[in-house]
Amino acid sequence: MSTQSKTIPPKIIMVTGGACFIGSHVVRLLVNKYPGYHIVNLDALTYAGNMANLKDVGKAPNYTFEKGDITDEARIRELFEQYHFDAVIHLAAESHVDRSIMDPLAFVKTNVLGTAILLHAAHAAWKKDPAGKLFYHVSTDEVYGSLGKEGFFTEETPYDPRSPYSASKASSDHFVMAWYHTYGMPVILSNCSNNYGSNHFPEKLIPLMINNILHHKPLPVYGKGENVRDWLFVEDHARAIDTIFHHGKTGEKYNIGGFNEWKNIDIVNLLCGIMDKKLGRTPGESAQLITYVKDRPGHDLRYAIDATKLNKELGWKPSLQFEEGLEKTVDWYLANQDWVKAVTSGDYQNYYAEQYVKR
Ligand code: NAD
Ligand code: TDX
């Protein structure tokens, strides 16, 4: 028996949404770091899911991909019977606030019903012997609502979601805790701030701006660009999930954040500066593309996470400075234009026209 299998017993883990931005980084970390685990990636491959995100681990012996929808109850039950999962790490979701304003019921279906179906199936499979089992739910800081200029979200901050996306994630968090209190299901929850990094779908602020700067397209800043987000490098989020999954306390929740607040307009200007240099443009050239557009309805003013609990209890902290992470991210997008072209063809053009051109 190897040293590793003595300290960490082998686990069969279902990762939902493993083909997505954050999910792919979580799957990569687990597959590479724990060769004794079997990672089963269940993903419906919606517009946001992309097998190309996992090209490097696709053939690993401890990795299996299963195409499937978390709202398909029969399929989820079959997978539990087939694999006898020890744990679920649940990331699959509809995740974009602007899309939730266009089509809220899709968010209720996947984020609320899909989570409840997973919990129901896990409970059915685990109720006789819950020892060593874990349902880890990956959630967002948006469940806490909007901060004013001062203060931080802690684990005790009351939920106050304000968009269909955040309401659906808040609801899923409540279902997870309901299964814990009612059925004794072993659960852990984490609520993370805005992620950035490679493989981020270019509907979100940072990759959308990188792509538009590159192609000399207008840079659509909502409202006055004064809204504040707390940014975390995606690989730091994946490390936090690994830490919480292995060392967190059952029934508890952990906030994850970057201690890194930025106004949107300052990020866009920073990206313009980085890209002017990398693309050999005159300083200030890309910033001329900045275009203030109609604000997002119900736009949350500020998010800021207090991640002290995770730092003090489990020793996690972010590894990268924002400027360094942003530069790495820009480099990745410039070096992976085939990936960008593939995800911005077809449906992306329809979404872009609906969100930015027609309104
Ligand atoms: P994403 O939008 O990039 O990808 C979502 C993934 O879920 C895709 O792979 C998609 O194919 C899959 N999926 C969607 N519906 C599904 C269904 N019905 N069945 C199975 N798979 C389905 O997501 P992301 O931005 O990487 O976020 C991942 C998770 O992390 C989400 O739960 C999100 O709420 C949470 N989160 C995201 C951020 C962020 O900044 N992006 C921050 C905090 C928390
Ligand atoms: O074109 C844009 N212009 C703009 O000004 C876009 C796409 C965004 N914005 C603003 C809106 C927000 O204030 O930038 C900020 C960031 O926007 P998004 O990238 O859409 O992220 P946000 O709405 O903050 O939500 C993200 O963080 C929390 C993720 O999408 C969620 O999945 C996560 O839970």
Indicate the top mutation candidate among 193, 194, 303 to test ligand 2's pocket, ranked by most ligand atoms within 8 A of CB.
194
Lowest mean pLDDT among 1-10, 225-234, 350-359: 1-10
Give the distance (Å) from ligand 2 centre to CA of residue 124.
37
Is the pLDDT reported for residue 238 higher than 60?
yes
Is the pLDDT reported for residue 4 higher than 80?
no
Cβ(213) – ligand 1 distance below 6 Å? no
pLDDT of residue 153: 97
Is the pLDDT reported for residue 187 higher than 50?
yes
What is the tens place of the pLDDT at every residue in 267-299? 999 999 999 999 999 999 999 999 999 999 999
pLDDT of residue 326: 97
- Indicate the average pLDDT of the chain: 95
Confidence of residue 6 (pLDDT cuts 50, 70, 90): very low
List domains and CATH numbers for the chain.
12-195+234-260+301-320 (3.40.50.720)
Closest atom, ligand 2, to C-alpha of 193:
28
Residue 141: active-site member: yes
Confidence of residue 18 (pLDDT cuts 50, 70, 90): very high
- Per the residue annotation, which of 34, 63, 136, 165 is the catalytic one? 165
Give the torsion through C-alpha atoms of 270, 272, 274, 280, to 10 deg: -160
Percentage of the chain lying above the pLDDT 90 cut: 94
Other C-beta atoms closer than 10 Å to the C-beta of 31 total: 23
Is the pLDDT reported for residue 3 higher than 60?
no
pLDDT of residue 2: 37
Closest atom, ligand 2, to C-alpha of 268:
5
Its pTM stands at 0.97
Confidence of residue 8 (pLDDT cuts 50, 70, 90): low
Residue 165: active-site member: yes
Ligand positioned closest to the Cα atom of 143: 2
- Per the residue annotation, which of 43, 69, 94, 142 is the catalytic one? 142
What is the tens place of the pLDDT at every residue in 245-273? 999 999 999 999 999 999 999 999 999 99
Cβ(143) – ligand 1 distance below 6 Å? no
| Three-state helix/strand/coil letters over the chain | CCHHHHHCCCCEEEEECCCCHHHHHHHHHHHHHCCCCEEEEEECCCCCCCHHHHCCCCCCCCEEEEECCCCCHHHHHHHHHHHCCCEEEECCCCCCHHHHHHCHHHHHHHHHHHHHHHHHHHHHHHCCCCCCCEEEEEEEHHHHCCECCCCCECCCCCCCCCCHHHHHHHHHHHHHHHHHHHHCCCEEEEEECEEECCCCCCCCHHHHHHHHHHCCCCEEEECCCCCEEEEEEHHHHHHHHHHHHHHCCCCCEEEECCCCEEEHHHHHHHHHHHHHHHCCCCCCCHHHHEEEECCCCCCCCECCECCHHHHHHHCCCCCCCHHHHHHHHHHHHHHCHHHHHHHCCCHHHHHHHHHHHCC
**Region 214-234 average pLDDT:** 98
- C-alpha Rg value of the chain to the nearest Å: 20
Residue 285: active-site member: no
